[in-house]
Amino acid sequence: MSVTLYKRLLALVCAALVAALPAQAYAFSRVKDLVDVEGIRDNMLVGYGLIVGLNGTGDSLRNAPFTQQSIQTMLERLGVNTRGETMQTKNVAAVMVTASLHAFAGQGTRIDVSVSALGDAKSLQGGTLLVTPLFGADGNIYALAQGPVAVGGFSAQGQGASVTRGVPTSGRIANGAIVEREIENNLAAANNLKLSLRNPDLTTASRIADAVNRFIGGNIAVTKDPSTVSLSIPASYPKGVVGLLADVEQLKIDPDDVAKVVIDEQSGVIVMGSDVRISTVAIAQGNLTIRVEETPQVSQPTPFSQTGTTQVVPRTNIQIDDSKGNKMAVLQSGVSLQKLVDGLNALGVGPRDIISILQAIKAAGALQAEIEVIG
C-alpha cells in the first residue's frame, strides 16, 4: 500500500470516528460581537426641516402654525414676502430629521437619515426634504440633509372606507446627509482602552480578559467589573493600537449569562434562557369557563287570529367547562429547558396560562431563574 493511499484511508477513518461522536453545543462568539470600545460610538443628530411636493397629504396650516411660519421664513430667505397672507397649501409638511453619525465618519461622507412628520400630515409619499442642518448635543452643525423620501407604508381612503399599511408619516433617505464636521478621535495615540460589555456579566468579562492575555502572551487585560475590561496597549506591539483591536475583536469565547425568563404581558410572548432549571414540582392547571349564548326566536300567532301578537321569545344556552380532563403533571428536579417546555405543553395550556404557571413556580421557590416582566 502506497503512503498516499494510506493517508487517505487514515483521513476517512478519522472523519468517520468524529462523525460518530455525540455533537456538543458550543456558543462561541467573537469579542467584536460582545463589547463596545469606549470612545468609539455613534453620535445622535437631529434637525427640523420641511418636506415639499406632497400630493395634498401635507400639514393643514390651520392646525400646524409652525409649518406656516417655516414656509414664510424659507420664502423670505429666497426673496419672497408672504407675511400677512393666508396660505392654503397642503403640499408641505414639517418633519423632524434624525441621523446617527459614526465615530470616524470623515468630512464629505454620506449617512442615512430618517424623517418623521411633526404635524397632521397624512402621508410623506412622494415628498422631497429641503436642505436641513443636523445638530449634535453640543449645538454644532455636523451634517446637512436633503433628498427624496422613501416611505414604506401607504394610506388610501374613500367615502366609505380607508386602508392604511405601515406608517406613511415616516420615511428614510438613503445617503441623504453629507457630513460637514468630523468628530475628533485620536485612537492611534491611546495608551489604555476599555472594552464595555453589552450584556454585563462577570464570568464573560473574565473569559475575555483571559483570552486576550493568552493571545498576547502577557497580562495586558484586566477585569475591572462585570461590564468593563481594561486593556494596556503594549508599546512593542507591531500593529499598533488599531491592529491590536482588530486582532482582539476576532478572538472567540463562550459568553455566559444568568438564567432568566422574560415575559411580555401584553403580547403573551415568553422567552426562556437555556440555563433555566426547576426543582421537583407538581403542576395542575384548570380554568372554569362559562359560555352563555342568546338565540331569541320569533313567535307568531295563528293565521287570521284576532287577539294574537308577534313576540320575541328568549332562548338561552349555558355551557360550563371546568377542565375536568386536565391532569396534574410532575416536573422532576433539574430538568432542562426542553423538558420544561414539553411538560407545560403536555398540560394543554396556552401562553397566558404558562405565564401564570411560571410565576406560581417562582413563588413556590422551585424556579431557579430570574423572571423579568416587560410591557
- Domains identified in the chain, total number: 3
DSSP state of 84: T
> Does 305 fall in a domain?
no
* 224 domain residue, yes or no: yes
One domain, residues 69 and 171: yes
DSSP for 127-149 reads -EEEEEEEE-TTS-EEEEEEEEP
State residue 15's pLDDT score.
Answer: 47
- Under the banding of pLDDT at 50, 70 and 90, the label for residue 96 is very high
- The predicted pLDDT at position 374 comes to 82
Q: C-alpha grid cell for residue 81?
A: 414676502
**pLDDT at residue 80 tops 80:** yes
Rg, C-alpha atoms of the chain: 33
Q: For residue 69, is it within any domain?
A: yes
Q: Of 179, 213, 238, which marks where a domain is finished? A: 179
Structural domain span for residue 354: 261-297+312-374
Whether 234 and 319 map to the same domain: the answer is: no
How much is the pLDDT for 13? Answer: 45
Would you state the pLDDT for residue 336? 60
Q: Closest by alpha carbon to 54, among 3, 137, 125, 132?
A: 125
Q: Are residues 63 and 173 in the same domain?
A: yes
Pair 59, 172 in one domain: yes
Question: What letter would DSSP give residue 105?
Answer: P
Q: What is the pLDDT of residue 235?
A: 80
Residues 80, 82: Cα–Cα separation, whole Å: 6
Asked whether residue 121 is domain-assigned, the answer is yes
- 171 and 196 in a single domain? The answer is no
Residue whose entry in the numeric block shows the C-alpha cell 371546568:
322
One domain, residues 278 and 248: no
Q: Which of 46-55, 190-199, 346-355 has the highest mean pLDDT?
A: 46-55
Mean pLDDT, all residues of the chain: 80
Phi, psi of 10 (to 5 degrees): -65, -40
Q: How far is CA 223 from the centre of its chain?
A: 29
250/238: higher pLDDT: 250
Q: Is residue 114 part of a domain?
A: yes
- Return phi, psi of residue 150, to 5°: -100, 120
Together in a domain, 194 and 170: no
Element counts in the chain: helices (H) and strands (E): 6, 25
Q: Which residue has the higher pLDDT, 175 or 348?
A: 175
- Does residue 36 lie within any of the structural domains? no
* Separation of alpha carbons 253 and 312, rounded Å: 75
Give one word for 9, left, alpha or beta, with left for phi > 0 and alpha for psi -120 to 50. alpha
**Can you spell out the DSSP letters for 31-79?**
GGGTEEETT---EEEEEEEEEE--SS-S--TTT-HHHHHHHHHHHHHTT
Q: Are residues 242 and 284 in the same domain?
A: no
Q: Which residue has the higher pLDDT, 6 or 173?
A: 173
Higher pLDDT, 59 or 272: 59
Rounded to an integer, the average pLDDT of 202-220 is: 91
Task: Report the distance separating Cα 114 and Cα 119, nearest Å.
Answer: 16
* Strand ranges across the sheet with 192-197: 35-37, 192-197, 228-232, 221-225
Amino acid 138: pLDDT: 92
Instruction: Identify the pLDDT of residue 287.
Output: 56
DSSP 3-state percent helix, strand, coil across the chain (nearest 5)? 25, 35, 45
Size (the chain), residues? 375
| Continuous segment of H or E residues that includes residue 294 | strand 289-294
Bridge partners of 277, per DSSP, are: 368
**223 within some domain:** yes
Residue 285 and residue 341 in one domain: yes
**Residue-level pLDDT at 86:** 76
243 & 268 share domain: no
- Is residue 222 over pLDDT 70? yes
Strands 316-321, 35-37: pairing kind: unpaired
Q: How far apart are CA 124 and CA 243, in angstroms?
A: 45
- The confidence score (pLDDT) of residue 187 equals 79
Tell whether 149 and 63 lie within a shared domain: yes
pLDDT computed for residue 18 by the predictor:
41
Residue 31 has pLDDT above 70, yes or no: yes
Task: Let me know whether 172 and 62 are in one domain.
Answer: yes
Domain-embedded: residue 132: yes
Taking only the tens place, the pLDDT of each residue in 308-340 is: 677 777 776 656 555 555 555 555 555 665 666
